[in-house]
């Protein structure tokens, strides 16, 4: 144990928010005007919170036996590390940390760099009643790492960023990657062999391989490379009752898929120390184009046709009219900056419309051919080309969204996203009903807001919908207001038959609706698995499975 | 209940063997010579077994309460129906029925045509200690429907062929198909809407949709259309404790995949009444070509490259040299008949070699282009084209294999298959070691035999291996000899790190090695799920999960 904290812990991000502390969090040009146009009052820029001023609950002492197994130098009890592990990146997590007053924080942070210590550690924690929250990049936006309402008096955050192994099988094109590798680190290791995962979620720069697997992450190029779960070739999980491995095989018909039971387990069954994934050759060419279609529905129909013909490009996104207006009206990195395009579009008869981003990745011949074919499909769907510089703008800014969010939070606004997926036959009505419900609830809460949406993950049978809400805090204040809106969103999603999450996972935020989505027997089955692997219930209590009333 | 048996039961197949009773089971031209060349003594054609002479265990009475819930007219106690449900299509199942002496048979056959009766029926069976074996097409080759060593005194076979609903969602291109629909019936319903599943396992003509899902079936065109598990969009399972549904969504990140826990459950958790699947547009063109490569390894390397470049055609198969010799040496439907090709190949310098079948399916433009590209890859891998008539021969005969098998069984020979999958980096050595182990065991058992193999399901990280064994019965007699060989095969597969099955499932035949493959915790997890859904353990006892010692 080290009073200064463990050496393998990383402290290179903002403790109170997203990402690189050197990266500015400025409101982009045009944004303030646009917010005002939507009736959103933009407050003055708040002062940055100070680590010294943060109040957090006193730490309950962690039993010596647990600390001993963790090993000297692997335990941190510092306030900074406890604060850094007090939550993820949801609006509620961020406002908690910005408020300088935390209701929940782990009692200690343990950072292991040796996967063999996990099972003994979990055994000790189970025996001594210490809850364990696995922590990778800390980028959960659904309360997956927030030590809230665990039902345990003592909670450790188990930081996995020290698990950084990499073994590549170049013949099978698979790689076994340590859970703690961040997206760019994993890509750098693969790139040395000419490989890539093609997994680029917005959280890519800080999220970890273990988190990708634990949450069924989906990247922005999921149409081309597949969601993370489809990249997993084999996996293991270290639980309080031992380790479960799935065998390395391209496929097996030996019973139900235990691999698919570990993927998506969200830390509630155990810790994923590493994941073996299928890699691809790095593409020679990546080409991103922006297009404008008549409206959201027209764009979605183009994507549906491509998906059902199995012709989707690596990236296929459609913004609804509101999101399009915001993209065009602000000069954000990745926004397809303003007036130039507006004028061009007016000339072409698309004064309003829906923005599409289409991305091709592969060999230069393949990209050229796919591009030529898809451009025909896009034009026949009524799309107008905005060219590659606008597309490249999107690609450059694809990981920048969280910084923009900080700029809005700085001004006292509520900024949050939620996402779902739906079959094509209900997709359009579902979009409208969820959007309407959220808009009405914002109004009822006195929150002036923008609700915008895009489709970014498409399948032959349906597609995702990703909503972003920017709003004034309303009568009840931001966090209380957002909780109300989130409840309405979840209820509208479920009553429309959609899933509570296409790729953000369950976390603690969706756990109250888990039974509604998976049913009584589905919930009972998940509980039975947890009971088998984690009989003391110490693994990430409250995440995925709601804490049962005592 | 009807003494004459239930009206929804189908009796249109051979009770003692495979398929259509009108289809001849003749030994193809050249086969006898080829068997003799391999030292296999071909016996005289045995007399066909007679239903009248079959001895089977006396039926234990099924409780009235169970029969009442099943409903009048849905229960059969006839010997014919009990015999027809006494097993599947494994070598051991077939020799049992051919022997006219059955050690195991269900005590009654219940045939439901209303899925709503399943849960009440299972509840009653659980309460009264009656085991239930779900029965679809009865095509299991791994003992999945054989009422062997169930640990229960009373066993009913639950025939699902009456579950024949079909609901198509043309916008989402999904179809909800009753579990009892056979492959051609499902395809006919889809074809009426211009759709197909593209799922064509060798058992296609008689296997059912429910069985496809319960066993993780893979079709011969799996490279183009995906395995059956990847086609499942949502599913439900009726268990003794109620019904579990997964929601209709293209994807969800809400926790572990319950869908993937139901798929592959092999009747051990409950009954799958129907499955919602992703369909495709029926292809305009199907083109099958035969090619010859230098050897098995050369063919496998071509397939590996195509898989890793994501360029696999719908069908990609490679036969090893022995299977190639058998294909070329016999005029079986689907064999690429004999001498003509031999002479052609000698001219081209491929006197021996490995046969490849490549199939393209899609629009005529797509097939033309894919064909042109792939032919370049094949030629650069050293392949010599044998043309489409040989390929079409394969396609015509693709479902005929089980009839040929009957012809060999008629002559007293052992004929059985087993299959596995392995990562590319170990694939070649693994093939050799499994083949060697089986060949040696055959010799040790005094069985003169042919061991042949093909690759038919390829992935970026590895591929399946499908072995066929034809042998004389040896010292111990066919069934005992085969049990010994199967044990050796399973052990060789496991010691080489392969899976016990790529697509035949676990059944009762692989259950003894289940723990070896999934590990102690994997087995415990599966048992925990079963305990939750089927606490009385009545569902297909002994299948998937080995019966626990009392």
Indicate left, alpha or beta for A276 from its phi (over 0: left) and psi (-120 to 50: alpha): beta
CA nearest A310 in B: which residue?
Answer: B280
Q: How far apart are CA A230 and CA A73, in angstroms?
A: 37
Q: Does pLDDT of A180 surpass 60?
A: yes
What pLDDT score does A352 carry?
A: 78
Structure tokens at A52: 């010294």
A249 interface with B at CB cutoff 8 Å = yes
Q: What is the pLDDT of residue B5?
A: 41
* pLDDT of B334 higher than 60: no
Looking only at the bridges linking them, the beta strands covering A154-159 and A130-135 are: parallel
Which structure tokens are listed for B26?
Answer: 């003749």
Sign of CA dihedral A133, A134, A136, A141: negative
Mean pLDDT for B106-120 is 97
Q: Give the A window 153-212 contacts with B, CB below 8 Å.
A: 169-174
Cβ contacts of B207 on chain A, cutoff 8 Å: none
Which pair of structure tokens corresponds to residue B506?
Answer: 């676990």
B501 in contact with chain A, both atoms CB, cutoff 8 A: yes
CB atoms A280 and B519 under 8 Å = no
Query: What's the pLDDT at A390?
Result: 85
* Model pLDDT, residue A363: 94
Question: Of A169, A239, A529, which is closest to B425 when you measure between CB atoms?
Answer: A169
Query: Whole-angstrom Cα distance, residue A269 to residue B31?
Result: 55
Contact A218 B262 (CB under 8 A): no
Residue B152 CB neighbour total at 10 angstroms: 22
Which residues are CB-contacts of A246 (< 8 A; sequence separation ≥ 6)? A234, A235, A236, A258, A259, A262, B518, B522
Average pLDDT over residues A76-104: 97
Tokens, residue A409: 């939070």
pLDDT-wise least confident of A265-269, A351-355, B246-250, B519-523: A351-355
* Residue A3, pLDDT score: 38
Q: Please give the residue of chain B at the shortest CA–CA distance from A545.
A: B255
pLDDT digits 0-9 by tens, B249-299: 999 999 999 999 999 999 999 999 999 999 999 999 999 999 999 999 999
Q: Where are the alpha helices (DSSP H) in A9-110?
A: 31-37, 64-70, 79-84, 91-98
A-chain residues near B170 (CB < 8 A): 425
A95: left (phi over 0), alpha (psi -120 to 50) or beta: alpha
End-to-end Cα separation, chain A, in angstroms: 34
**What is the percent of chain B with per-residue pLDDT over 70, rounded to a whole number?**
95
Taking all residues of chain B, what is their mean pLDDT, rounded to a whole number? 94
Pair B308, A173: CB distance under 8 Å: yes
What residues of chain B lie within 8 A of the CB of A461, using their CB? 172-174, 233, 250, 278
* Residue A5's pLDDT band (cuts 50, 70, 90): very low
Mean pLDDT of A259-288: 97
Predicted complex ipTM exceeds 0.85: yes
Say whether B522 and A461 touch across the interface (CB within 8 A): no
The distance of A192 to chain B (nearest Cα, Å) reads 18
Q: State how far residue A470 is from chain B, nearest Cα, in angstroms.
A: 24
Residue B33 pLDDT > 50: yes
Confidence of residue A30 (pLDDT cuts 50, 70, 90): confident
Residue A29: what pLDDT? 84
* Min Cα–Cα distance to chain A from B248, Å: 7
Would you state the structure tokens that stand for residue A398, as one six-digit string? 């694809």
**Does B472 contact A at CB distance below 8 Å?**
no
Q: Residue A328 — very low, low, confident or very high, per pLDDT cuts 50/70/90?
A: confident
Provide the pLDDT for residue A28. Answer: 86
Measure the CA–CA gap between B251 and B458, rounded to whole angstroms: 24
Q: What are the residue ranges of helices labelled H in A355-471?
A: 364-380, 388-396, 401-410, 424-444
Q: Say if A502 is an interface residue toward chain B (CB within 8 Å).
A: yes
pLDDT at A229 over 60: yes
B460 exposure class (CB count in 10 Å sphere: 0-12, 13-18, 19+) = buried
Task: Report pLDDT for A102.
Answer: 97
- Name the band, by pLDDT with cuts 50, 70 and 90, for residue B72: confident
Q: Are B452 and B319 in contact, with CB atoms under 8 Å apart?
A: yes
Measured in angstroms, the CA of B258 and the nearest CA of chain A are apart by 7
Test B528 with A532 for CB contact under 8 angstroms.
Answer: yes
Please check the confidence at residue A546 and state whether its pLDDT lies above 90.
Answer: yes
pLDDT, tens digit (0-9, with 9 covering 90-100), for A132-150: 999 999 999 999 999 998 9
Mean pLDDT of B114-125: 98
Per-residue confidence band for B125, with pLDDT thresholds at 50, 70 and 90: very high
A81 pLDDT higher than 80: yes
Q: Name the pTM for this structure.
A: 0.96
Position with higher pLDDT, B317 vs A8: B317
- Cα gap A430→B36, rounded to integer Å: 67
pLDDT digits (tens, 9 = 90+) for A253-262: 999 999 999 9
Tell me the C-alpha distance between B146 and B138, whole Å: 9
Which of B137, B156, B146, B29 minimizes the C-alpha distance to B399?
Answer: B137
Q: Of the ranges B19-33, B140-154, B189-203, B433-447, which one carries the lowest mean pLDDT score?
A: B19-33
Over the stretch A352-374, which tens digit does the pLDDT of each residue have? 799 999 999 999 999 999 999 99
- Would the pLDDT of B201 be above 90? yes
* Residue A224 pLDDT exceeds 50: yes
% pLDDT > 90, chain A: 89
Closest residue of B to A280, CA-based? Answer: B308
Per-residue confidence band for A170, with pLDDT thresholds at 50, 70 and 90: very high
pLDDT digits (tens, 9 = 90+) for A436-487: 999 999 999 999 999 999 999 999 999 999 999 999 999 999 999 999 999 9
Residues of B in contact with A243 (CB under 8 A): 521
Q: How many interface pairs between A and B have CB atoms less than 8 angstroms apart? A: 287
Q: State how far the Cα of A50 lies from the Cα of A59, in Å rounded to an integer.
A: 20
Which residues from chain B sit within 8 angstroms of residue A284, using beta carbons?
none
For A290, the 3-state DSSP assignment is strand
Tokens of B224: 């183009």
CB B344 within 8 A of CB B385: no
Q: Round the average pLDDT of chain A to a whole number and report it.
A: 94
């Amino acid at each position: 144990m080290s009073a200064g904290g463990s050496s393998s812990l990383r402290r290179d991000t903002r403790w109170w928010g997203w990402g690189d502390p050197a990266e500015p969090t400025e409101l982009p040009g045009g944004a303030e005007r646009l917010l005002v146009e939507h009736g959103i009052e933009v407050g003055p820029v708040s002062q940055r919170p100070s680590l010294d001023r943060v109040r957090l609950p006193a730490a309950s002492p962690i039993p010596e036996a647990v600390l001993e197994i963790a090993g000297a130098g692997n335990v941190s009890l510092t306030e900074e590390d406890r604060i850094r592990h007090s939550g993820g990146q949801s609006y509620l997590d961020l406002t908690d940390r910005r408020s300088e007053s935390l209701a929940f924080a782990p009692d200690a942070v343990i950072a292991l760099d040796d996967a063999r210590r996990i099972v003994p550690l979990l055994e000790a924690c189970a025996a001594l009643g210490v809850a364990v929250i696995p922590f990778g990049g800390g980028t959960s936006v659904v309360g997956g790492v927030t030590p809230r309402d665990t039902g345990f008096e003592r909670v450790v955050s188990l930081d996995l960023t020290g698990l950084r192994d990499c073994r590549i099988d170049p013949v099978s094109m698979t790689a076994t990657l340590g859970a703690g590798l961040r997206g760019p680190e994993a890509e750098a290791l693969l790139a040395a062999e000419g490989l890539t995962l093609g997994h680029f979620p917005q959280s890519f720069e800080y999220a970890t391989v273990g988190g990708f697997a634990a949450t069924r992450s989906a990247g922005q190029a999921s149409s081309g490379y597949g969601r993370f779960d489809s990249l997993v070739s084999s996996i293991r999980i270290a639980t309080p009752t031992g380790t479960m491995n799935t065998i390395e095989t391209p496929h097996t018909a030996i019973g139900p898929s235990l691999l698919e039971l570990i993927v998506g387990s969200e830390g509630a069954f155990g810790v994923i120390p590493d994941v073996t994934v299928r890699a691809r050759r790095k593409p020679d060419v990546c080409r991103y184009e922006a297009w404008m279609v008549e409206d959201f529905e027209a764009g979605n129909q183009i994507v549906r046709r491509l998906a059902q013909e199995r012709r989707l490009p690596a990236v296929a996104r459609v913004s609804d009219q509101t999101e399009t207006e915001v993209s065009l009206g602000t000069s954000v990195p990745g926004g397809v900056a303003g007036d130039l395009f507006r004028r061009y579009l007016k000339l072409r008869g698309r004064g309003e419309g829906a923005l599409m981003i289409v991305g091709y990745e592969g060999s230069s011949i393949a990209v050229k051919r796919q591009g030529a074919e898809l451009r025909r499909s896009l034009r026949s769907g009524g799309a107008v080309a905005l060219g590659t510089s606008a597309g490249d703008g999107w690609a450059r800014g694809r990981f920048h969204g969280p910084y923009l969010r900080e700029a809005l939070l700085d001004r006292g606004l509520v900024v949050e996203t939620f996402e779902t997926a739906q079959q094509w036959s209900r997709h359009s009505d579902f979009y409208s009903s969820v959007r309407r419900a959220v808009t009405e609830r914002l109004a009822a809460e006195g929150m002036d807001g923008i609700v915008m949406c895009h489709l970014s993950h498409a399948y032959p049978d349906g597609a995702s919908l990703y909503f972003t809400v920017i709003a004034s805090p309303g009568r009840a204040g931001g966090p209380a207001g957002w909780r109300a809106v989130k409840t309405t969103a979840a209820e509208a999603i479920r009553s429309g038959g959609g899933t509570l999450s296409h790729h953000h996972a369950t976390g603690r935020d969706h756990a109250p609706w888990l039974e509604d989505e998976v049913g009584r027997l589905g919930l009972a089955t998940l509980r039975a698995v947890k009971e088998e692997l984690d009989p003391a219930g110490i693994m990430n209590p409250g995440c995925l499975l709601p804490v049962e009333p005592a």
